[in-house]
Amino acid sequence: MLRKTVRDGERGAAFKLEGKLAQECVAEAEKAWSEFSGLAHRERVVDLCGVSLVDDRARELLARMHASGAKLVGTGPVTNALIEEICGDSQRRAPRWMRGVRSLFFRLIVSAVPRKEAVLDFVRGMGTGHFAYGIPGWIFTLQSYVAHIWKGIS
């Protein structure tokens, strides 16, 4: 059994399929897709999150949907592998080097969170007018750091 749902919004429309996309259900889905694709939409998304089985005819239908400009989305390793197989490089995640750069950036941000000792030094120094802010590897004097930022703003 196959369930088809169409959601139409401002930014585009979604064609959601749920169930087994195989045998006679493929013809049913193809008919619903032809009606759906006849409507004018800016962006068309085919939601495969609820699909549990896809046969060869269904793969061909999904490839035609993608070729007509629809974006295929899904969850789970099998569905994602199917989408990657159909879409090829056009809908791949960020390249591995980009994910590595993001990871490095995140680690640098996390490492900049002040340690407990640095916060205590900051609080103790409040009465002296000279604050030290400790970041692993660097020590910034708060007054000079604020002055540096102030020069950049003005």
Under 8 Å between Cβ of 33 and 51:
no
Q: Give the residue extent of every domain in the chain.
A: 2-91, 110-153
- Is the pTM higher than 0.95? no
Mean pLDDT of 2-15: 86
Under 8 Å between Cβ of 91 and 71:
yes
pLDDT by residue (tens digit) across 26-82?
A: 999 999 998 888 776 678 899 999 998 999 999 999 999 999 889 999 988 888 888
Mean pLDDT of 103-122: 65
Look at domain 2-91 and name its CATH class: alpha beta
The Cα-based distances of 1 to 12, 83, 85, 121, 143 in angstroms read 27, 21, 25, 66, 69
